[in-house]
Amino acid sequence: MLKHGTSRLVLMGALLFAMAGATWAEEESLILEEITVRGERQQSNEENLTIREVRESPARDIGEALQNVPGLNIVRKGAIANDIVLRGFQRDNLNMFLDGVRIHGGCPSRMDPPSFHFDFAEVESVEVIKGPYDLQNPGSLAGMINAVSKAPAKGPGMATNFSYGSFHYVDASLVGSYGVENMDGLLGYAFKKSDVPKSGDGKRLTDIYPSTSSNRYRPDEMDSRAYETNTVWTKIGYVAGHSRTELSYTYQDAEHVLYPYLLMDADYDRTKRVNLTTTLTELSPVISRINLQVWHNEVEHLMDDTSRVSSLPSMMVTRDYMMQTDASTITTGAKANVAISAGPGEFTGGLDVYRRNWDAKNEAAGWRSYEPQPMIPDVDVENIGAFAEYSLPLGDGFRLKGGARFDHTTVDATDLTDARLASLYQPYVPGSSLDTDTEYNQPSANLQVTWKATDTLEVFAGLASASRTPDPQELYLGLQRMMGKNQVGNPDLDPTRNNQADLGAKWSSGKVFASASIFYSALTDYIYVVDRPDPDGAGPLIAARTYENIDATMYGGELGTQIALPLDLFLKGTLSYVRGENEDTDDPLAEIPPLSGMVSLRYDNGLWFIEATERFADDQNRVDKSLQEEKTPGWGVTDFKAGANWARWSLVGGVNNVFDKYYSTHLSYQRDPFASGVKVPEMGLFAYANLSYRY
């Protein structure tokens, strides 16, 4: 059924393509510049989010800000910390970086996905590569998202920003910088908080559980603070000849973050990040660039159910929580890349290593009176990889780019005893002999052709094969319970391989930017959540939720346009679709976003603007019944905003979901192993204003 999507879809498609060929009178503005830049730089398998778009929106994190980018969706778990989904792929099937730095969250329930760990005010833009075309990093199976941080400019600089909105939403930041001939520095601080927002039915996001559920929020916690984060960061740059060296440090503290999606909430999430990079350019006629990078980050995370009814004192609950998980992760890495002019083309190659430790301990009243369990049993992951890529102009507008990568990965669950492996894990994987450590050797490769057919039309075709190793949770998660289901990893998992084909076209004529792409992805050993029955009948074990390798396909496409019309009007539209199929069972894959998109019309004369946006999604009727996934009806919501620029000041105000509609996205309740199973609705009417000053 295509109730919500079809008419809008047809109308929009017709409109966008009718306009794609037209040309209009000259009129300069920031948006026009954006259209031109996108046209010049953005390939059809890439997306870019500018900080202008983020500043004008009340997005609370990078995930929320990326929602309107074609091919991107989020998993909503609460008011903040949304997890990014790209073309139906999520979790470790994607790589998310800041300045190329790999960052992992500490929470086994992904309360703190990678994108949660940096503030907007640090970021200049966000680049997205759709598909397995990133060879410079291990594991970019379905794509790569990289946020690029701001660098200090020459002389004194300052940027401050204050946003206020419904439900006492506050987002404030202050960044000061100073740069001289060969040195520069930057210092920034950002603060965010909000009460629990309400959905279109007037209820708080914490008020979604039935009155019989022990996972419901305690009455006094229902309208407590939804989150509070403080971030402070600094960056120092040093220039000597043709080299630039940057050292940056960030400390982020998130306190009391509520996750109605889950059974627990976060007490805190404390992150430290260090990044040291050196870039050498114009070294010789042959070596055009060398990048050296060393980085380190660590996250400490504590979550419990103290805000829920389940933590109320009882025979069993003798502490102020019924369950608690104390988790930490430390990731350290280095890379060296070089770009060399070789023949008519350019060669890029590099070597990289990283090591991640992840440890999580769970205590629950329901398991041997709070006896700690090694839930993520102190797992060490070590990866070493090398890549080589060559880009070759072929004439007649053709350019060929291809490369390969090889990764060696070892994983060791140091806190998983042979006894626990045999008693808790082995019974769910009969017929294979499990181990507490493993290693993988995985090649990846791709070939891309771009053809500039005319001055305005560019065609892209790509073929790629990439792999990612199972993550520590998928391999070694272990949580034994008295009732319900155990949650266990599968130490026998194989790496997932994605063999993908892409085809795209880009039209850019100064006034018009249009990009269309389709992809087909054949996945072998795709890692998927499954239920296993009780293996020992009357014995101590119960049924379990675990992971297995399946064969799957995903295919779909995106359409994105940005068009300058006469009279300072700008039209923007996107459309995304993906279909996922479990090839082992011929059932739909779970958690696949439905057909969705947005269309917006903006008047912008450079001094002030007004914009109306319609966001919409179709029904999702393709669900995985074996995981009790439910269908989700389609929806459409309307946003308005307006703003003005005056000298160095800018003011933006807006209302999202102006008709206060009650709706939820398809990705807001299902993800396992830890989802509570209730749907977390999207926010109802949300009004906001943002004042910023830049010097």
| DSSP-assigned letter for residue 565 | P
Residue 303 as a binder of Cu ion (CB under 5 A): the answer is yes
Least distance in angstroms from the C-beta of 122 to Cu ion:
23
Least distance in angstroms from the C-beta of 83 to Cu ion:
12
Between 8 and 301, name the residue whose CB sits nearer to Cu ion.
301
**H-assigned helices in 21-138:** 30-41, 51-55, 62-65
Between 345 and 372, name the residue whose CB sits nearer to Cu ion.
372
**H-assigned helices in 333-373:** none
What is the Cα–Cα distance from 152 to 175, expressed in whole angstroms? 10
Range list of β-strands (E), 131-195:
143-149, 155-165, 169-179, 183-195
Which two tokens mark 501? 């084909």
- End-to-end distance of the chain based on CA atoms, in angstroms? 52
Q: Are 92 and 110 in contact (CB under 8 A)?
A: no
Choose one: 101-109, 222-230, 384-392, 681-689; the region binding Cu ion (CB under 5 A). Answer: 101-109
Least distance in angstroms from the C-beta of 546 to Cu ion:
20
Position with the least CB separation from Cu ion? 107
Among 111, 254, 416, 655, binds Cu ion (CB under 5 A): 111
| Maximum separation of any 2 CA atoms in the chain, in Å | 79
Choose one: 107-115, 373-381, 384-392, 442-450; the region binding Cu ion (CB under 5 A). Answer: 107-115
Amino acid residing at 25: A
> How many residues interact with Cu ion (rule CB under 5 A)?
4
Q: Are 413 and 377 in contact (CB under 8 A)?
A: yes
Choose one: 247-255, 295-303, 370-378, 604-612; the region binding Cu ion (CB under 5 A). Answer: 295-303
Least distance in angstroms from the C-beta of 167 to Cu ion:
23
Between 325 and 383, name the residue whose CB sits nearer to Cu ion.
325
Least distance in angstroms from the C-beta of 270 to Cu ion:
13
Tell me whether residue 509 is exposed, middle or buried, using C-beta atoms within 10 angstroms of its C-beta: 0 to 12, 13 to 18, 19 or more. buried
Choose one: 102-110, 348-356, 393-401, 528-536; the region binding Cu ion (CB under 5 A). Answer: 102-110
Between 107 and 364, name the residue whose CB sits nearer to Cu ion.
107
| DSSP-assigned letter for residue 542 | -
| DSSP-assigned letter for residue 536 | S
Radius of gyration of the chain (CA): 25
Residue 598, beta-bridge partner list: 574, 615
| DSSP-assigned letter for residue 253 | E
Binding mask 43-62 for Cu ion (x = CB under 5 A): --------------------
Question: Kind of pairing, strands 143-149 and 72-75?
Answer: unpaired
Local structure of 111: helix, strand or coil: coil
Between 302 and 447, name the residue whose CB sits nearer to Cu ion.
302
Between 300 and 568, name the residue whose CB sits nearer to Cu ion.
300
Q: Are 205 and 198 in contact (CB under 8 A)?
A: yes
Between 265 and 352, name the residue whose CB sits nearer to Cu ion.
265
What is the Cα–Cα distance from 226 to 549, expressed in whole angstroms? 37
Between 34 and 305, name the residue whose CB sits nearer to Cu ion.
305
Least distance in angstroms from the C-beta of 172 to Cu ion:
26
Q: What is the three-state SS of 432-499?
A: CCCCCEEEEEEEEEEEEEEEECCCCEEEEEEEEEEEECCCHHHHHCEECCCCCCEEECCCCCCCEEEE
Near Cu ion in 423-452, by CB under 5 A: none
Choose one: 60-68, 106-114, 126-134, 493-501; the region binding Cu ion (CB under 5 A). Answer: 106-114
What is the Cα–Cα distance from 119 to 191, expressed in whole angstroms? 9
Which residue bears the tokens 């155990």?
A: 486
Between 404 and 678, name the residue whose CB sits nearer to Cu ion.
678
Least distance in angstroms from the C-beta of 105 to Cu ion:
8
Least distance in angstroms from the C-beta of 313 to Cu ion:
23
Choose one: 105-113, 194-202, 414-422, 626-634; the region binding Cu ion (CB under 5 A). Answer: 105-113
Choose one: 100-108, 221-229, 270-278, 672-680; the region binding Cu ion (CB under 5 A). Answer: 100-108
Between 16 and 107, name the residue whose CB sits nearer to Cu ion.
107
Residue 107 as a binder of Cu ion (CB under 5 A): the answer is yes
How many C-beta neighbours within 10 Å does residue 253 have? 14
Residue 381 as a binder of Cu ion (CB under 5 A): the answer is no
Between 364 and 598, name the residue whose CB sits nearer to Cu ion.
364
Least distance in angstroms from the C-beta of 488 to Cu ion:
18
Which residue bears the tokens 């949580």?
A: 479
Least distance in angstroms from the C-beta of 196 to Cu ion:
18
Between 306 and 438, name the residue whose CB sits nearer to Cu ion.
306
Residue 375 as a binder of Cu ion (CB under 5 A): the answer is no
Residues in contact with Cu ion by CB under 5 A are 107, 109, 111, 303
